[in-house]
Amino acid sequence: MIGPPEDHREGSLEAPTRHPLAWREPEFYSESALNAELARVFDVCHGCRRCVSLCNAFPTLFDLVDGSATMEVDGVAKEDYRKVVENCYLCDLCFMTKCPYVPPHPWNIDFPHLMLRAKATSYQSEGASVRDRLLSSPDVVGRIASVPVVASIVNRAAGNRTVRQVAEKTLGVHAQAPLPKYQERTLRRRIRRRKATPVEPLATPHTKGRVVLFTTCYGDYNEPEIGEDLIATFEHNGIPVRVLEQEACCGMPKLELGDLGSVERLALRNLPALARSAKEGWDLVALVPSCVLMFKKEIPLLLPENPDVQRVAEAFYDPFEYLSLRHKARLVVTDFKNPLGKVMYHVPCHQRVQNIGPRTREILSLVPDTRIEAIERCSGHNGTYGVKREFYEAAVKIGRPVAHRVEQADADYFTSDCALAGHHIEAGLNKSVKTLHPLSLLRLAYGI
């Protein structure tokens, strides 16, 4: 048995804190140092096991331990550590909601960032497959796949069973995994000639009353309707909205891959324009919780020395967090025309770990004759994890309890702030349920 550090204090009552990642230091990529830290943390996890229900990383670890000759971590082969790492998709829920040994506890357990270190070490030594490079480049793929004519070809191929079977064998993208469609009329193309509603922004103690929308790769290329719904609902609430002239991917897919150099390059492309907008008195919002998380939490831990990083982090909001802050100042319009009935609402992991509270449920609950029932469980999609051949079945299994709750609810709508998570659950339903993004539901309630 490896054993934990000398301080055996059980748990901590202090607020969790995170340390910047020393990803530029050579020791960060030392295989021997990494394996020693993995063994130390795995031993603590083995003795605790609180996180067994969160994802497939922990059951994988505990099965390896229980199946070893010693039934301890020292009986697990070092090469099998990778099996645990590959099943972590950096949702951060173990750190934020379960682990009693996170910093400032002396044991200093940050499981997701240790998995990130392991992914980065593997990426540095081995690189990435063609599939993983494609899946982690949604901005590049989106620009190509949204070209007129190309979009229709890509979408037809994604819906063709034979093509999907070939793609599974050659690329490793599971044939049954739902793939997003690409739009010729992207969000930027749709709003290019849009005439913004002239309105004088009203500031509150926490908001400037005008926002710059980070469209995200998904919001621009795959479901531009969500961006249109945000613009419509925000302007209905007296909040002017504009988009950046150019933006790159937030970097979350590259982070999941362990390609930290690309995360930095993408951040340096986005930060100047975002920081300039914040300095000019604009707040920032994004259509995908993972993108908000990157700018608020992850990039500050990767680039703590960059002066633009903190300015952007402080100006960034989840859309419903923003509306909630406006609602506290009595600036949210409540002239709803359409009730929503019963809504099953899936709370994405990357929104939960931002500790902003149930703001989407709060705002949708303002609609008369509407009841929101929240589901705080992982969808199983988890970025690129849910479409990979080797993880698809695990992704479906993880999301099955959410699908079961939705099926049993007899609800009018199913919704999730993460559109990808929502569609992953939708694909696992045995009966049809109307699935709309929360911003689309809000616009529907307003009747605008």
Whether CATH 1.20.1050.140 fits 187-325 = yes
Angle at which helices 260-279 and 307-315 cross, to 10°: 70
**Residue (of 447, 396, 391) closest to 426 by Cα position:** 396
Return the domain boundaries, the chain. Answer: 26-126, 130-170, 187-325, 334-446
pLDDT at 198 (0 to 100) = 78
Residues across the chain: 448
How far apart are alpha carbons 179 and 380 in whole angstroms? 14
pLDDT at 1 (0 to 100) = 45
Q: What is the mean pLDDT of each run of 10 residues along the chain (448 residues)?
A: 53 80 94 96 93 90 94 94 94 88 92 96 94 94 94 94 94 93 94 80 95 96 97 96 94 96 97 97 96 96 95 97 97 96 94 92 97 92 89 92 92 94 89 91 97
pLDDT at 16 (0 to 100) = 83
pLDDT at 331 (0 to 100) = 96
pLDDT at 380 (0 to 100) = 86
Confidence (pTM): 0.92
pLDDT at 8 (0 to 100) = 57
The three-state (H, E, C) secondary structure of the chain, written as one string: CCCCCCCCCCCCCCCCCCCCCCCCCHHHHCHHHHHHHHHHHHHHHHHHCCCCCCCCHHHHHHHHHHCCCCCCHHHCCHHHHHHHHHCCCCCCHHHHHHCCCCCCCCCCCCHHHHHHHHHHHHHHHHCCCHHHHHHCCHHHHHHHHCCCCHHHHHHHHHCCHHHHHHHHHHCCECCCCCCCCCCCCCHHHHCCCCCCCCCCCCCCCCCCCCEEEECCHHHHHCCHHHHHHHHHHHHHCCCCEEECCCCCCCCHHHHHHCCHHHHHHHHHHHHHHHHHHHHCCCEEEECCHHHHHHHHHHHHHHCCCCHHHHHHHHHEECHHHHHHHHHHCCCCCCCCCCCCEEEEEECCHHHHCCCCCCHHHHHHCCCCCEEEEEECCCCCCCCCHHHECCCHHHHHHHHHHHHHHHHHHCCCEEEECCHHHHHHHHHCCCCCCCECCHHHHHHHHHCC
The correct CATH number of 334-446 out of 3.40.50, 1.10.287, 1.10.3470, 2.60.40 is: 3.40.50
- Cβ pair 418, 352 in contact under 8 A: no
376 phi and psi angles, rounded to 5 deg: -105, 70
